[in-house]
Structure 1
Amino acid sequence: MTEYEQIALDKIADHEHEIYALLKQRYSPRVFSEEPIGKQDMKQLFEAARWAASCNNWQPWRFIYGFKGEDGYDKIYDCLDEFNQSWADNAPVLMLTAYKEKTPDGKDNFHALHDLGLAMGNMTVQAQYKGIALHHMAGFDWKKAQEVFDVPEGYHFSTAVAIGYFGGELEKLPEDLQEQEQSERERIPQTDFAFENNWNAKV
């Protein structure tokens, strides 16, 4: 068993209640296999996003992506913060997620971010099914990205995402990130976020 395979086993969620296997196995690595992500791989991921639920079926999500070695990849990488730049170039694909801010009749779409999240949830599970990892990032300069990609008014970048097949060598990461990669996963208990009948009610 390789070092990375052992890490993958250790990353399986220590769940309190049984959940779908792909959800247990999902985590966000900072190293990736050298196996390239193909255009058909990306089309399958976007197809999963396409069939996510959305308010009134408005489908407000938008994506810009680039393969390593392409201009789009470099533009996205240049918009990442310094921390994420320290590892994200391990990924064969970089992507930005965005949402449409208005409804078709011009009103604020309060649910657009929720719907983008549902699309990314679909994409993440489809990726896991194919052995592809998605690492979602908040650390990027969205204002710079809006200008670099000449995003039209009414659309807003939300996150950056590193995409690649699971695998890779820990030695590609700085030492502090190697430790994080091997650290134990933690989640707050259900009693901190799921309440029956009354806010903060403990079940």
Structure 2
Amino acid sequence: MNEIEQIALDKIANNDHELYALIKQRYSPRIFDQKPVTEDDMKKLFEAARWAASCYNWQPWRFIYAFKGNEGYDKIMNTLSDFNQEWAKNAPVLMLTAYKEKTPEGEENFHALHDLGLSMGNMTVQAQYMGIAIHHMAGVDWKKAQEVFDVPKGYHISTAVAIGYYGGELENLSDELQEQEQAERERKPQKSFAFENEWKEKD
């Protein structure tokens, strides 16, 4: 067993209750195998996103993606935070997520961001099924991304995503990032966010 395979095993969720295997196995790596992510792979991921639930079936999600070596990839890279740029260069595909802010009637779609999240949840599980890792990033200058890609008014860039097959070389990361890559996964206990009958969190 090589180092990357061991990391993958170590990242399997130490869940308190039984979980679907693909959810248990999912994690957000900062290294990726150099096996190409193909256009067909991306179409399968977008098909999963396409079939996500959304308010009134408005499907407000939008995506901009680019393969490494293309101009669009460099444009997305340049919108990322310095920290994310340090490792995201390992990803074969970079993507920006966005949502349409208004309903078909021109009113604010309060649920659009929620629906974008649902579509990305679908995509993430589909990717896991395919052996593809998806690393979601909040560290993106969305205003710069809107400008670079000439996103029209009424649409909002939300996050960036690094996409690639699990694998790669740990040595491609700095010592600090190697340590983070191998760190144990942690989650809050259910009682801290799931409340029966009444709201229980005080601050």
Is TM (by shorter chain) over 0.5?
yes
Structure 2 partner of 1:120: 120
- Identity among equivalent positions (%) equals 76
Structure 2 partner of 1:10: 10
Structure 2 partner of 1:177: 177
Distance 1:29 1:112 in 2: 27
TM-score if structure 2 supplies the norm length? Answer: 0.98
Distance 2:135 2:187 in 1: 17
Distance 1:43 1:92 in 2: 15
Task: Name the SS of the counterpart of 2:153 in structure 1.
Answer: coil
Structure 2 partner of 1:95: 95
Q: Which amino acid aligns with 1:4?
A: I
Structure 1 partner of 2:19: 19
Distance 1:81 1:185 in 2: 23
Instruction: Please list the CA deviations of residues 58-86 of structure 1 after superposition, one character each: whole Å capped at 9, or x if unmatched.
Output: 00000000000001100000000100000
Q: What is the Cα deviation at residue 16 of structure 1?
A: 0.1
**In the alignment, is residue 84 of structure 1 matched against residue 93 of structure 2?**
no
Structure 2 partner of 1:71: 71
- In structure 1, stretches of 5+ residues that fail to align are none
**In the alignment, is residue 133 of structure 1 matched against residue 128 of structure 2?**
no
Structure 2 partner of 1:147: 147
Q: Which amino acid aligns with 1:90?
A: N
Distance 1:34 1:11 in 2: 21
Instruction: Please list the CA deviations of residues 37-73 of structure 1 after superposition, one character each: whole Å capped at 9, or x if unmatched.
Output: 0000000000000000000000000000000000110
Task: Name the SS of the counterpart of 1:72 in structure 2.
Answer: helix
Instruction: Please list the CA deviations of residues 152-202 of structure 1 after superposition, one character each: whole Å capped at 9, or x if unmatched.
Output: 11000000000000000100001100000000000000000000000118x
Task: Name the SS of the counterpart of 2:89 in structure 1.
Answer: helix
Task: Name the SS of the counterpart of 2:18 in structure 1.
Answer: coil
TM-score if structure 1 supplies the norm length? Answer: 0.98
Tell me the number of residue pairs that the alignment of Structure 1 and Structure 2 aligns. 201
Instruction: Please list the CA deviations of residues 115-170 of structure 1 after superposition, one character each: whole Å capped at 9, or x if unmatched.
Output: 00000000000000000000000001100000000001100000000000000010
Runs of 4+ in 1 over 2 A off after TM superposition: none
Structure 2 partner of 1:33: 33
Structure 1 partner of 2:165: 165
Structure 1 partner of 2:187: 187
Q: Which amino acid aligns with 1:63?
A: F
Distance 2:195 2:31 in 1: 37
Instruction: Please list the CA deviations of residues 81-129 of structure 1 after superposition, one character each: whole Å capped at 9, or x if unmatched.
Output: 1000000000000000000000000100000000000000000000000
Q: Which amino acid aligns with 1:107?
A: E
